[in-house]
Amino acid sequence: VIVNEEAKAGETILNKAKVDDTVNPPEEPEVPVVPEAKAGKLAATKTVNNAKPKLGETIEYTISFRNTIENGILNKVVITDQLPKGLTYVKDSLTSVGDEPKPTSLKEANGIITAEYPSITDTKERSIRFKVIVNEEAKAGETILNKAKVDDTVNPPEEPEVPVVPEAKAGKL
pLDDT in 10s for each residue of the chain, 173 residues: 676 666 666 677 777 788 888 888 888 888 787 777 789 999 999 999 999 999 999 999 999 999 999 889 998 999 999 999 999 999 999 999 999 999 999 999 999 999 999 999 999 999 999 999 999 999 999 999 999 999 999 999 999 999 999 998 876 66
Residue 9 and residue 64 in one domain:
no
Q: What is the arrangement of strands in the sheet containing 112-117, beginning at the earlier edge strand?
A: 105-109, 112-117, 77-82, 144-151, 161-164
Give 142-147 contacts, CB < 8 A, sequence gap 24+.
142/166, 144/84, 144/85, 144/86, 144/87, 145/84, 146/46, 146/48, 146/61, 146/81, 146/83, 146/84, 146/87, 147/46, 147/81, 147/82
Provide the number of structural domains found in the chain: 2
Q: Does 171 reside within a domain?
A: no
CATH number of the CATH domain containing 58: 2.60.40.740
Residue 102 and residue 155 in one domain:
yes
Residue 122 and residue 61 in one domain:
yes
Do the Cβ atoms of 61 and 48 come closer than 8 Å?
A: yes
Segments forming the whole domain that contains residue 118: 39-164
Predicted TM-score (pTM) of the model is 0.81
